[in-house]
């Protein structure tokens, strides 16, 4: 069964450093998403991406965040200058059709720890 994969599984970085979280969505999916889950809290939407542009973003997704699909398979989330409060589990998801019609398949997550 096709699945979404994410690398690395755990990333430790120092405050102020840039990090790139990588995802490989399911191959025939066209819609891509990033969510985050701060420890003990609910899963929160960050951004959705379709046709090489952001289709929707949340208030959390400020200028320090960016997303990119650098090639035909990868989808990345970049955090330019990490803060302590960016420590969370970051989930990538993909869907064949837009939300509301297509279900989103989630990857296993990348745990980001900012020290």
Min CB(87)–another protein separation in Å: 16
> Contact between 99 and another protein (CB under 8 A)?
yes
Q: Which of 32, 36, 97 is nearest to 68 (CA)?
A: 32
> Contact between 72 and another protein (CB under 8 A)?
no
Contact criterion met (CB below 8 Å) for 7 and 96: no
Contact criterion met (CB below 8 Å) for 114 and 87: yes
> Contact between 70 and another protein (CB under 8 A)?
no
Q: Pick one of 15, 17, 64, 103: the residue that binds another protein (CB under 8 A).
A: 103
Q: What does the angle CA 106 – CA 45 – CA 78 come to, to the nearest 5 degrees?
A: 80
> Contact between 105 and another protein (CB under 8 A)?
yes
> Contact between 75 and another protein (CB under 8 A)?
no
> Contact between 48 and another protein (CB under 8 A)?
yes
> What would the two tokens of residue 38 be?
């701060």
> Contact between 33 and another protein (CB under 8 A)?
yes
């Amino acid at each position: 069964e096709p699945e979404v994969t994410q690398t690395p599984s755990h990333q430790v970085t120092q405050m102020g450093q840039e990090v790139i979280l990588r995802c490989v969505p399911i191959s025939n999916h066209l819609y891509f998403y990033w969510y985050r889950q701060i420890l003990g809290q609910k899963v929160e939407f960050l951004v959705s991406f379709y046709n090489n542009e952001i289709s929707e973003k949340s208030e959390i997704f400020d200028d320090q965040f960016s997303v990119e699909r650098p090639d035909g398979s990868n989808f990345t989330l970049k955090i330019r200058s990490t803060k302590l409060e960016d420590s969370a589990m970051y989930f990538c998801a993909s869907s064949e059709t837009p939300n509301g019609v297509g279900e989103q398949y989630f990857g296993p997550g990348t745990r980001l720890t900012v020290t």
